[in-house]
Each structure stands twice: as C-alpha cells, then as structure tokens.
Structure 1
Amino acid sequence: MPASSPYNALLARVPVARRAHDGAQARTAYWEYGDAAAPVTILAVHGFRGDHHGLEPVVAHLPEVRWIMPDLPGFGETPALASGAHDLATYAAWLREFAAAVAPGAVVLGHSFGSIVAAGAVADGLDTPRLILVNPIGAPALEGPRGVLTRLAVAYYAASAWLPRRLGSWLLRSRAIVRVMSIVMAYTRDRTLRRFIHDQHDRYFSLFSDRDTLRQAFVTSVANDVRASAPRIAQPTLLIAAVQDDITPIAAERRLATLFPDARLVEIDGVGHLIHYEKPAEAADAIREFLGA
C-alpha cells in the first residue's frame, strides 16, 4: 500500500495535465502544473533515477507558478534517446530543444543530476531569464564525504553491466538495494516523512528504460558537476543547498557560488540531499523570493 504523502492536500489544489512532445530523438513525456496563464513558468529537471514526481512537493508549495516537468530521457515515461548516447552534451541538447519547443522563456530549475543537465544546457545557450539549482552537484561525487559509497555505486553499476542482461537488470531494480539508497539519502527522523520518501523511491527509482541507458546516465552523473558550466552562465542564478548534504558538502557549494558571474546561495539547515522531499516549503520560499527579485 502506498505511503501517504504529507503534501497531498496542497498538491491536490494544483491542476495538472500530462502531455508529450515529439522531439528529434524521443517522445518526451511531461506534466504541466498550475495555471497556464501564470506570469512565470518554471521548467524543472529531476534527479538521477527519479522522474517528475520527485519535485511535486515543491510544486505543491509554489502553486502560483506554472510548472513544466518532463521525465528525463531513459527515465519514467520518456524512452531512451534514439542515438543511444546519454552523456552530458546529449542531455543538454535534448533540454535545449525541449525548452525551445514547449517552454520558451521559462525559468530553468534542476535538482541534483538535473542541476548538471540544466546548467550545461544554459551554458550552451538555452534561453532563460534565470536559473535555479537545488542540491546542485558542485564538486566531483568521488570527492564528497561519502566518496566510499560513491565508489561502491560505481562497482554496483559496473557489475550490473557485466552480468547477463536479465540478471543485471534484476540487480538494478532490486528493492533491497533501492531501499538502502533511500535510507542513506534520507536525513529526516520524522517516521511519516521517511515512509513517504522510501515509498517514492520504491515506486519510481526503477522506472528506467534499460540498464545500458541507466549506466550511461550514472557515468554522466559522477563524471560531471556544475563547476565547468558556472562561469559561462550570465543569467542570475539561485543555488539552494543543504547544510548536511553529503554528496556535495556545503563548503563546496559556497565555492561553487563564487564561480557564477551572478549567483546567490541559500543554505537550508537540517536536511541532506533530499531538499525536495524534506524541506520543500523552504525551497519554495527561496524560489519565490528569487523570482520576485
């Protein structure tokens, strides 16, 4: 039985419609939340192994904005790209094409792995007035406080690729391993919220298209970070970082903010890498103030 979401009542008040866009390399599934006539549209890019559901708690706390939320190619309801390549350049090109067709002029937001894709796309010319990065990947994952766990993840994905396809795919979708990932990432001690987070990961973390695409996306996530794109982003940028994030430490996020020509950093205490689940109200407040400015 699915765990109850603490954000259901708020989210229920936001209209939502599923749509699709036929792009050059994939039919991208996306969801439109809020009033189509809203003065501001945010194009939001989710994190690794998730899909658009992960950012819904932030949507619930920012209903005055129109949200466009696609599933990344190879995740959720969007198939892998026709080229078969899922590196940063290809993801960024996909996002530029999707934004131009579906959400021209939208503010761009990226969470975690989505921060790498969003920053890369904007640095390469995606037309947006502002950029928002939540839990941005501001340093190499292998150098973070949990670099050992990252190395274990590298071995896990390598083993999944080496094993026979059926066995490797089973390993990637193992509920036990997904639960371990969820336990490691969750910071909150609130039992109801933890149940919700684990349920979200149980339901959506294994909806990737195939193991080859997943491995490529994982390699992209650990081989890149936002630092390379930051100096080439002229737009005002908001970084929403977690003080207890052990994927990118807060000290690295503070250094990252200095690499942008125009960036402000909002630090949220009492949360790790799951701001979108554990502190969505605080994230929404920071976004609202940034947009108002």
Structure 2
Amino acid sequence: MTVPSPYAERLRRLPVRRHEVSVRGGTTAYWEYGPADAATTIVAVHGFRGEHHGLEPVLAFLPEARVIAPDLPGFGESAPLPDRTHDLGEYAAWLREFAASVAPGAVILGHSFGSIVTAGAVAGGLPTPRLILINPIGAPALEGPKGLMTRLAVLYYALGARLPERVGTALLRNRLIVRVMSIAMAKTRDAGLRRFIHDQHDTYFSRFSDRDVLRDAFVASVSHDVREFARDIDVPTLLVAAERDDITPIEAERSLSALFADATLVEIAHVGHLIHYETPAEAAGAIRRFLRIRVAPSP
C-alpha cells in the first residue's frame, strides 16, 4: 500500500492482534480488532477477491466493539482448504466452524460476497444474535445494472482458468484490469479517496492463492444471492445498502429486506458497491444503532 489511508489516524488508535486457527484442514489467518473485553463481538467476512484489510475503514469507526476479521480460505494470508472445492457450501461450512472455534455466539457481518457466505451460514445453523449485511448481493449478478460487465467477467475468469497456468494467473492478476474494475465501482468525487481506493485494490485484490480457488469463488459469487437464504433467517438482520450500487440496485435491496422475518434496511446515498471505503462512518453508525453500542467518550 503506497497511498495513506484517510482513516489511518483512527486505525492507529485501534488495538490489532493477528492469530491463526486450523479450520477444515486449512490454516485461517484472522485479526482481532478493538478491546478484548468488549461487550460486543463481531465476526466480519470480506467480499470476493478482497481480504480483511478492506473492512478496516468500517472497523475504525467501531472502536468500542471487538471485531474478528478473517481472510477467506484461499485469499490474503489464509491457506486454501485442502482437497475441497471452494464453493458456497464449503465457505458457509468453514464460517460455521471458524465462528464456533474463535467467537461462538458473535454477531455475524458480511460484505458483498461475504453477505452470501454469512447468510448461507446463518440459514444453515450458525448461531448468532444478529446478522449484518453490507452491500448485500440481493439479486442475481447477471441481472444487475451492469449485467453485461458481469458477463464479461464470467468470460474473463473462464479464460484465466483455461489458459496455461502461468499465462492464466498473470491475466487474473493484471493490474490494468484491476484498475478498470476499481474505477467502475468508485463513485466518490474526492480525488484523494479515489487514489486510496485504487491503491487498496492494487495492493490486495490479487492476493488469491491460485486460479482454481479464484474460479470457484467467482462461480459461487455469481451463482447465488442472499434471497435464497433470507426466509430461513429468523434473527434480526441489518442491511446497509447503497443507492448507486451497480451490482444490486436499491429496488432489489428493498425487495430483499421484505423477505426476512425481522430486517432493518439502511440506505446510503451517493455511494455504490464500496460503502466500506467511501462511507464507512455511515455504515458504522448504522451498525452501532442496530447493536445498541454506546459511543465511548473521546480521550
């Protein structure tokens, strides 16, 4: 990372501890943010091709909570799960075992692809008092406002998987393609924030272990959405949605919220699929109200 974070000062005040745990035969790296004795513990799951760093801006505005942020298997510093297909069922099973081992009974949070993983895990029996979904995937990606772009992405990942390994992996890590994606998703007009977002994607978006894991995770991300699990989730659920999300339009998010037994929908204006980078304070405020976390007095 070469561009300073706009949230660096807040993050510097946040205690951070790195850990590892064995889950389903693989080593999962995870980070613990905030006070170890906090009244509220959250397990936060990042999105497709990302890693735990992506959610740090939101965590910077939640200093009163203890947040457990793992790298998904096969991404960041977490090893792939050996001899397993990294499909949605496997990721949901991994999350159930990870949470049971590291933070049983924690609030569960997922962003983007993480919203599908967490919804699938909770619907499949992961115990949690509350569920939080940021930029939830509330409709099939191929039907979103940028459905054509998604179809091109399908071809891109298919080509990356079929070319000779070295060439295919180089294509999947191509910095120009990563930058085009980043430019398409960023909505802010703040030049400094845009530079930070692009640098985050340049730094962390290609830290996948191998192209097979990436292909499996991509197929899972475009083959499922939160709707298929919503009716099976009976815990209070917060949806933090963006009015300009190119992957799930806000109308689809409103329809999604109606499928849950107990859902609260918070809509954030002037932002797209990067709530965690562009409006983390607003997202954290919604989370704090939902969880009734009291703001600590300033030092």
The answer to whether the superposition gives a TM-score over 0.5 is yes
- 1:271 is aligned to 271
Offset at 1:230? 0.3
- 1:57 is aligned to 57
- 2:281 is aligned to 281
Offset at 1:247? 0.3
- 1:117 is aligned to 117
Offset at 1:84? 2.6
Offset at 1:79? 1.1
- 2:180 is aligned to 180
- Say which SS state the counterpart of residue 169 (structure 1) adopts: helix
- 1:96 is aligned to 96
Is 1:292 the counterpart of 2:284? The answer is: no
Taking the aligned partners of 1:183 and 1:47, their CA distance within structure 2 comes to: 17
Offset at 1:26? 1.0
Deviates more, 1:19-28 or 1:185-194: 19-28
- Say which SS state the counterpart of residue 83 (structure 1) adopts: coil
Mapped contact 1:84–1:213 kept (Cα < 8 A): no
Residue-pair matches, total: 293
Taking the aligned partners of 2:71 and 2:123, their CA distance within structure 1 comes to: 21
Taking the aligned partners of 1:144 and 1:136, their CA distance within structure 2 comes to: 13
Unmatched segments (≥5 aa) in structure 2: 294-299
- Say which SS state the counterpart of residue 260 (structure 1) adopts: coil
1:2-81 equivalences under 5 Å are 2-81=2-81
- Say which SS state the counterpart of residue 94 (structure 1) adopts: helix
Taking the aligned partners of 2:84 and 2:65, their CA distance within structure 1 comes to: 34
Offset at 1:162? 1.2
Offset at 1:25? 2.3
- 2:200 is aligned to 200
Name the amino acid aligned to 2:25.
Q
- Say which SS state the counterpart of residue 232 (structure 1) adopts: coil
Unmatched segments (≥5 aa) in structure 1: none
Taking the aligned partners of 2:21 and 2:212, their CA distance within structure 1 comes to: 24
What do residues 41-91 of structure 1 show as CA deviations (whole Å, max 9, x unaligned)? Answer: 000000000000000000001100000000000100001111331111100
Q: Percent identity?
A: 69
Aligned Cα root-mean-square deviation (Å): 0.8
Name the amino acid aligned to 1:20.
E
- 1:261 is aligned to 261
TM-score by length of 1: 0.99
- Say which SS state the counterpart of residue 238 (structure 1) adopts: strand
Taking the aligned partners of 1:222 and 1:250, their CA distance within structure 2 comes to: 18
- Say which SS state the counterpart of residue 68 (structure 2) adopts: strand
- 1:161 is aligned to 161
Name the amino acid aligned to 2:101.
A
TM-score by length of 2: 0.97
Offset at 1:246? 1.1
Name the amino acid aligned to 1:58.
V
- Say which SS state the counterpart of residue 156 (structure 2) adopts: helix
Mapped contact 1:25–1:83 kept (Cα < 8 A): no
Taking the aligned partners of 2:24 and 2:159, their CA distance within structure 1 comes to: 32
Deviates more, 1:86-95 or 1:76-85: 76-85
Name the amino acid aligned to 2:239.
L
